[in-house]
Amino acid sequence: MRVLSVVGARPNFMKLAPVDRALVKRGVEHVIIHTGQHYDPGMSDAFFEELWIPAADHHLGVGSGSHAQQTAAVMQRLEPFLLDVRPDLVLVYGDVNSTVAAALVGAKLQVRVGHVEAGLRSGDWTMPEEINRVVTDRLSDLLFLPSRDAAENLGAEGVPADRMHFVGNVMIDTLCWALPQALAFDAAARHRLAGGPYVIVTLHRPSNVDDPAVLRELLDALGRLAAKVPVLFPVHPRTRNRIGELGARRAAGSGLELLEPLGYLEMLSLVAGAALVVTDSGGLQEETSFLGVPCITVRPNTERPITCTHGTNRLVLPRGDSVLAAAERALGRRSPARPVIERWDGKAAERIVAVVCDDARFDVDGAAASPPQVARRAAAIPVPLGAS
Ligand code: UD1
């Protein structure tokens, strides 16, 4: 059997790593294509090295561009390669532009497509990732679900239950694999934070960083927080560019410690020891929930409601006062007990490979019986702080 994985952006790489290991363990030929959507060494190469992912078999070299340009370039450059390799299955990961582009190419060439992290929905059509999720799921033959609510979402869209496999969360596979190394790394001590509480921040969503007024308000709030507790902010390239446009003086004077993007182990080490994470990332909502670290997600909604209902996540609107109030409330809320979320157990990739190699099934009870008109969400829809 020959499986071809297409990855391109930072959050794809943590999802690929455990799947690659599990496929190789079963003797499956695994071809890896890197689209080049993310190309900075700190956004790409560092993850391949730290997560022991073999070098990609082929780079499409797509780079940055508008959504249409990026999606089209992946499609154009991937098609001849797929025609040549003729895999039995194309695996795509998450919700980035590379994901939907690769799913389109595979589906049109009548190659089976498997989507790792299927069925998540924010219900927010203004998010490019939501469009990517819906389209990718519609094109995929095998849907690998990280949480039970994903089956309800897919059922509501009329997706047949026999395509769904509730395998669990591959991000947590990677976290479990890397945690001992991350703790040994002791990043807090390296950043002279050992012993005291500190906050980690990441922000990169267009809705938070592309509007200068919103970004300025968020930076001001984080600056006020930094006056009380150390705040470290590894900055995504998109955000770095936007902060640059606001003027370097503002960032320098905000009291925040702005860092280059961090590698996986250093970031995990810092997050595991943090008193609080403030973010708009999808992966961090999951990682903090698994670790029991309080998390504030600066978004009006989430495609990962289970992190609010069963984990440590709270939504807050991108308003300075709301973010500051939520952060102050969350500081000190860390409990020694870690939440337990079903099938977030480090074995999701093994289940995926059992489906791919053995035709195993991981049913979600009741999903098939839930017709679209009576479909309901397993997890209540979280309401963000600051919403009137
Ligand atoms: C993409 C994903 C988003 C994911 C994020 C993780 C889509 C639609 N969005 O957003 O879901 O959470 O990755 O990081 O696919 N840039 C660099 N170097 C790089 C990559 C990007 O400088 O290696 C800069 C470029 O200015 C680029 C901008 O960042 O234009 C945005 O990159 P892009 O891949 O378009 O989207 P992200 O914001 O990274």
Q: Is 69 in the pocket of ligand 1 (CB under 6 A)?
A: no
Q: Is 128 in the pocket of ligand 1 (CB under 6 A)?
A: yes
pLDDT tier, 335 (very low <50, low <70, confident <90, very high otherwise): confident
- Does 386 have pLDDT greater than 80? no
Predicted local confidence at residue 341, as pLDDT: 96
Mean pLDDT of 329-339: 87
- Compute CA distances 383 → 31, 146, 298, 309, whole Å: 42, 22, 12, 11
Predicted local confidence at residue 248, as pLDDT: 58
Instruction: Classify the phi-psi angles of 235: left when phi > 0, otherwise alpha if psi is within -120 to 50, otherwise beta.
Output: beta
- What is the Å distance from ligand 1's center to 75 Cα? 18
Predicted local confidence at residue 370, as pLDDT: 40
Token pair for residue 164? 């769904």
- Does 383 have pLDDT greater than 60? yes
Q: Is 386 in the pocket of ligand 1 (CB under 6 A)?
A: no
DSSP state of 373: G
Lowest mean pLDDT among 287-301, 338-352, 360-374: 360-374
pLDDT, tens digit, for every residue of 157-207? 999 999 999 999 999 999 999 999 999 999 999 999 978 999 999 999 999
Phi, psi of 159 (to 5 degrees): -75, 130
- Does 371 have pLDDT greater than 90? no
Q: Tell me whether residue 310 is one of the annotated catalytic residues.
A: no
- Does 372 have pLDDT greater than 50? no
Q: Is 97 in the pocket of ligand 1 (CB under 6 A)?
A: yes
Whose CA is closest to atom 26 on ligand 1?
Answer: 238
Is residue 267 a contact partner of residue 239, using CB atoms and an 8 Å limit?
Answer: no
- What is the Å distance from ligand 1's center to 38 Cα? 6
Is residue 71 a contact partner of residue 97, using CB atoms and an 8 Å limit?
Answer: yes
Q: Which residues make beta-bridge pairs with 82?
A: none
Best residue among 6, 10, 12, 37 to mutate for probing ligand 1's pocket (most ligand atoms within 8 Å of CB) is 37
Please give the angle made by the CA atoms of 378, 379 and 382, to the nearest 5 degrees: 150
Predicted local confidence at residue 367, as pLDDT: 43
Predicted local confidence at residue 380, as pLDDT: 65
- Burial classification of residue 162, based on how many CB atoms lie within 10 Å of its CB (0-12 exposed, 13-18 middle, 19 or more buried): exposed
pLDDT tier, 368 (very low <50, low <70, confident <90, very high otherwise): very low
Predicted local confidence at residue 240, as pLDDT: 96
Mean pLDDT of 90-111: 98
- Which residue bears the tokens 């033959």? 141
pLDDT, tens digit, for every residue of 35-81? 999 999 999 999 999 999 999 999 999 999 999 999 999 999 999 99
Please give the angle made by the CA atoms of 187, 280 and 339, to the nearest 5 degrees: 70
Active-site residue, selected from the candidate residues 30, 115, 204, 236: 204
The average confidence (pLDDT) of the chain is 93
CA-wise closest residue to 147 among 374, 340, 296:
340
- What is the Å distance from ligand 1's center to 101 Cα? 15
Predicted local confidence at residue 292, as pLDDT: 96
